[in-house]
Amino acid sequence: MAGEPHAPKRLGPGLALASFGAVAFSGKAIIVKLAYRHGVDAVTLIMLRMLFALPLFAVMAWWAGRGKPALTRRDWAGVVGLGFSGYYLSSFLDFAGLAYITASLERLILYLNPTLVLLFGWILYRRRITRGQLAGMAISYAGVLLVFGHEVRLGQGASAVWGALLVLLSAVSYAIYLVASGEFVKRLGSLRLVGLATSVACLLCIAQFLLLRPVASAFDVAPQVIWLSVLNATACTALPVLAVMMAIERIGPAMAAQTGMVGPMSTILMGVLLLGEPFTAWIAAGTVLVIAGIFVFTRMGR
């Protein structure tokens, strides 16, 4: 029926938008790994990404806030805190971790985010965790440990441990953002909040660079790093945010989340084709476990 929110005429475009968002988000890790090949460090690389993304997010915040009440001091405090945790700290830890582990392992660790949100909900609000959800979590974490153990055996050793820890802390930081953002999403709207919080994160990343690096070194990088950063800021940052928001409007958050399962697969495929990363039976098995576990987890959480 035409009045149904997930009618067929909206289902196709919604699935396409959700798929594009998942694949584009996943491409961020590939771009970061490619940029590292040109000798750039994490502080400079994330600054360039956020510098180019700032105008896009500022416009997004302005567009979503047209005709809306001005933010109160409490709103601004929340936006700054959420921007710090959800987009500045989580992004920096993710970029830093990618210097030590493969893009495939990074994506699988970040894909555990829904389980971390549930754990924080249980710790802070005593929200119930079902046996089915626990089973899904166990399956997913077993998959990540399988791929992690494989990287350690390949000779990465302490580097793999450090990189995986940084990416896990990135996922924790973003989970904190998701748990704490509920009230502000209701007050400001999701698109306005994302635009404002990411703008704050962009300014923090730029300020971090100015504190830690000479200003003159901002563009003293290989030309490939500049173009990769522009691509990262647009195709892998701003556009996926819009795509996922539009997908949720058409097919709802549950189906959009399920469609996001193409993310890890696309990262592995791009890692093999563009980075020359190995694809072994261990990685395949770990990926299947992670995706299956998250599928069980989300189904049991409905």
Read off the amino acid at residue 239. L
Question: Do 19 and 262 meet the contact criterion of CB atoms below 8 Å apart?
Answer: yes
pLDDT reported for residue 4: 46
Its pTM stands at 0.86
- Report the percent of the chain where pLDDT is more than 90: 38
pLDDT above 80 for 299: no
Per-residue pLDDT tens for 33-76? 999 999 999 999 999 999 999 999 999 999 999 989 889 999 99
pLDDT above 70 for 253: no
Residue with tokens 């750039």: 40
pLDDT reported for residue 55: 95
pLDDT reported for residue 36: 95
pLDDT above 80 for 258: no
Residue range 19-24: mean pLDDT, rounded: 87
Q: Where are the domains of the chain?
A: 8-300
Q: Could you tell me the CA-to-CA distances from 55 to 5, 32, 198 in Å, in that order?
A: 32, 21, 11
Per-residue pLDDT tens for 136-148? 888 888 988 888 8
pLDDT above 90 for 84: yes
In 3D space, the residue among 47, 44, 32 whose CA is nearest the CA of residue 100 turns out to be 32
pLDDT band of 3, cuts 50, 70, 90: very low
Q: Which residues contact 252 (CB under 8 A, 6 or more apart)?
A: 5, 6
Question: 168-177, 220-229, 264-273, 291-300: which has the minimum mean pLDDT?
Answer: 291-300
d(CA 13, CA 4): 15
pLDDT reported for residue 190: 83
pLDDT band of 130, cuts 50, 70, 90: confident
Per-residue pLDDT tens for 202-233? 999 999 999 999 998 888 999 999 999 999 99
What stretches of 38-128 adopt beta strand conformation (E)? none
- Report the percent of the chain where pLDDT is more than 70: 92
Q: Both tokens of residue 213?
A: 């690096």
Residue range 149-171: mean pLDDT, rounded: 83
pLDDT above 60 for 9: no
| CA dihedral sign, ordered 111, 112, 118, 121 | negative
As a whole number, the mean pLDDT across the chain is 86
Per-residue pLDDT tens for 168-199? 999 999 888 888 887 788 888 888 998 999 99
Question: Do 112 and 298 meet the contact criterion of CB atoms below 8 Å apart?
Answer: no
Question: 5-19, 146-160, 193-207, 234-248: which has the minimum mean pLDDT?
Answer: 5-19
